Amino acid sequence: MTSFAEFETVIGLEVHCQLSTASKLFCGCATVFGSQSNQNTCPVCLGLPGTLPVLNREAVKKAVVLAEAVHGSVAQVSVFDRKQYFYQDLPKGYQISQFEKPYCEGGHLTLSSGKTIRLKRIHMEEDAGKSVHRPQGTMIDLNRAGIPLVEIVSEPDLSSPLEAVEYLKKLHRIVVHLGISDGNMEEGSFRCDANISLKLKASSKLGTRAEIKNLNSFKFLEKAILFEIDRQQEILLSGGQVRQQTRLFDPSTGKTEAMRDKEDSDDYRYFPDPDLPKLVISQTFKDAILKDLPELPEAKLMRYLDEMGLSEGDGETLVSDPLLSRYFELLITELSGVEGMAPKTIAHWVTGEFLAAKAAKGWSLENPALTPRHLAGLLKLLANQTVSGKLAKVVFQKMVETLETAEAIVKNEGLIQITDLNQVTQVVSQVIDAHPEQLREYLSGKDKLLGFFVGQAMRQSQGKLNPNLVQEVIKEHLLKRRGN
């Protein structure tokens, strides 16, 4: 009798990612989202007789960048094929895609666990249009028809919903980071199909898979896989057989439903599109593109962690958004040469205070009200100990509200840090005298109370005292009293 624990989940993802271009893959129509129905169409993408496709160079460039980012090998010669089937929103009766010879083969992504997920291939293709189903008929909008896509096909190396989500997030980060795609999942710029099957652990034979179509959020992907695992397990445990099916995930129910069985009659009759000569991607073409290739998120993360000593959490956060990491790096540049300001601290400010303020104020990362230079001003004051860490947070809050410079705020509000030994000593003496009980406990061996005195001194000075100095002075005083 087969039981639960004997199954292994096998997942492969096919990700469709829209390339960020101004015009479609084979015609000059705009790719903007949300236009009036059929406004972004022309004879080519309407599939009128006599029309011919001409390849968009920018789409090829973006596709090559992606190939490079995932360590795939770019084919010097690849071929556009026609994938033939009838569908109301497929105007030519075929989709121009790549079948036999995709422009990129192989490649891989590495998960945080160190596990490598192999890529089978990446190919370029055009998107289909959109159908709107009304009681009186199905309405067809071809604005999307011909939008440039890459389809990234993984090997079935993923073995859990979490791995699948991590893989998808990593891929998403790459395409967004490198400007390959806007990655907008609600608008369909980044969506995936998941092939899911179960196999017996003991066996090397793969099970029959179900293909879940068009998952357009990380959550949906996770839920759909979880549901599929349960569904397939139930079938297999009751001695049934999983059918090779195309299924659809319904977010409202969290279930997948069968769309149709894969039939033998699915015969796409691929053949090379005679309207398009072979795609030759020469070394020169590639070099020119890769010359300006931005740093890959993986490499950037490594640099943040290994060279800059950032915490993993901060590093991940910064790398997750190219604009955020740009903000961070501008800040680093502003603060270059400033002593006493470690990248780790800077990163912490960005992922902590800055992101919180950004969220509260609704700033965009493209154009945040608080610029890197602005924030650098504050961090410089922190570095030269004009303000303490605690005080800096106070100043920061004021900056967020008034958008004034840190210098101005510090000056106007008298928030300058006190580093004068006499003033510090005065406050420390007062604090110690005001807490005889705690002093006694300290003297009887409760060393922990050192922090208590520091806190009291800081509070009394409204945070203006230099905390290091406070600590030093208090220690000195207490030692003196111990010695007495």
Smallest Cα–Cα separation from 131: which of 140, 142, 120?
Answer: 140
Identify residues 225-254 at the interface with another protein (CB under 8 A).
Answer: 246, 248
Least distance in Å: CB of 185 to another protein? Answer: 17
- Can you read off the two tokens belonging to residue 55? 């390849």
Identify residues 91-130 at the interface with another protein (CB under 8 A).
Answer: 91-94
State yes or no: residue 188 binds another protein (CB under 8 A). no
Tell me 363's DSSP state: -
Smallest Cα–Cα separation from 41: which of 16, 58, 24, 64?
Answer: 24
- Measure Cα distances from 378 to 52, 313, 346, 347, 408 in Å: 59, 23, 11, 14, 10
Query: Bridge-partner residues for 131, per DSSP?
Result: 140
Pick the closer one to Zn ion by CB: 127 or 211.
127
User: What torsion, rounded to 10 degrees, do the Cα atoms 310, 314, 315, 319 define?
Assistant: -150
Pick the closer one to another protein by CB: 267 or 307.
267
Pick the closer one to Mg ion by CB: 151 or 353.
151
Tokens 């509000």 appear where?
A: 413
Least distance in Å: CB of 129 to another protein? Answer: 9
- Three-state secondary structure string covering 131-192: EEEECCEEEEECCCCCCEEEEEEECCCECCHHHHHHHHHHHHHHHHHCCCCCCCCCCCCEEE
Cα 318 to the center of its chain, rounded Å: 9
**Binder to another protein among 137, 337, 362, 445 (CB under 8 A)?**
137
Pick the closer one to Mg ion by CB: 153 or 237.
153
User: Which one of another protein, Zn ion, Mg ion, none is in contact with 30 (Cβ closer than 5 to 8 A by kind)?
Assistant: another protein
**Binder to another protein among 9, 18, 21, 466 (CB under 8 A)?**
21
Are 388 and 467 a contacting pair, CB within 8 Å? Answer: yes
Least distance in Å: CB of 25 to Zn ion? Answer: 10
Least distance in Å: CB of 67 to Zn ion? Answer: 26
Pick the closer one to another protein by CB: 19 or 394.
19
Whole-number Å distance between alpha carbons of 200 and 206 = 8
Least distance in Å: CB of 193 to another protein? Answer: 10
User: Which one of Zn ion, another protein, Mg ion, none is in contact with 274 (Cβ closer than 5 to 8 A by kind)?
Assistant: another protein
Pick the closer one to another protein by CB: 71 or 101.
101
Q: From the CB of residue 301, how many other CB atoms can be counted at a distance below 10 Å?
A: 20
Whole-number Å distance between alpha carbons of 89 and 132 = 10
Are 242 and 210 a contacting pair, CB within 8 Å? Answer: yes
Give phi and psi for 313, each to the nearest 5. Answer: -60, -50
Smallest Cα–Cα separation from 62: which of 147, 168, 178, 187?
Answer: 178
Are 452 and 474 a contacting pair, CB within 8 Å? Answer: no
Pick the closer one to another protein by CB: 230 or 250.
250
Pick the closer one to Zn ion by CB: 127 or 298.
127
User: Which one of Mg ion, Zn ion, another protein, none is in contact with 151 (Cβ closer than 5 to 8 A by kind)?
Assistant: Mg ion
User: Which one of Zn ion, another protein, Mg ion, none is in contact with 82 (Cβ closer than 5 to 8 A by kind)?
Assistant: another protein
Least distance in Å: CB of 23 to Zn ion? Answer: 8
Whole-number Å distance between alpha carbons of 199 and 186 = 33
Pick the closer one to Mg ion by CB: 213 or 374.
213
**Binder to another protein among 214, 244, 384, 426 (CB under 8 A)?**
214
**Binder to another protein among 11, 13, 17, 59 (CB under 8 A)?**
59
- Measure Cα distances from 84 to 140, 250, 274, 483 in Å: 19, 28, 14, 92
Identify residues 142-181 at the interface with Mg ion (CB under 5 A).
Answer: 151
Question: What does the DSSP assignment read for 232-299?
Answer: HHHHHHTT-----EEEEEETTTTEEEEEEE--TT-----EE-TTS--EE--HHHHHHHHHTPPPPHHH
The binding track of 125-144 with respect to Zn ion, each residue x by CB under 5 A or -, is --------------------
Least distance in Å: CB of 29 to Zn ion? Answer: 3
Identify residues 264-303 at the interface with another protein (CB under 8 A).
Answer: 265, 267, 269, 271-272, 274-280, 282
Contact region for another protein (CB under 8 A) — 88-96, 171-179, 289-297, 447-455? 88-96
The binding track of 9-48 with respect to Zn ion, each residue x by CB under 5 A or -, is ------------------x-x------------x-xx---
Whole-number Å distance between alpha carbons of 26 and 45 = 8
Least distance in Å: CB of 241 to another protein? Answer: 24
List of residues contacting another protein (CB under 8 A): 21-23, 28-31, 36-39, 41-43, 46-60, 77, 82, 84, 86, 88, 91-94, 131-142, 213-214, 246, 248, 259-260, 265, 267, 269, 271-272, 274-280, 282
The footprint of Zn ion (CB under 5 A) covers 27, 29, 42, 44-45
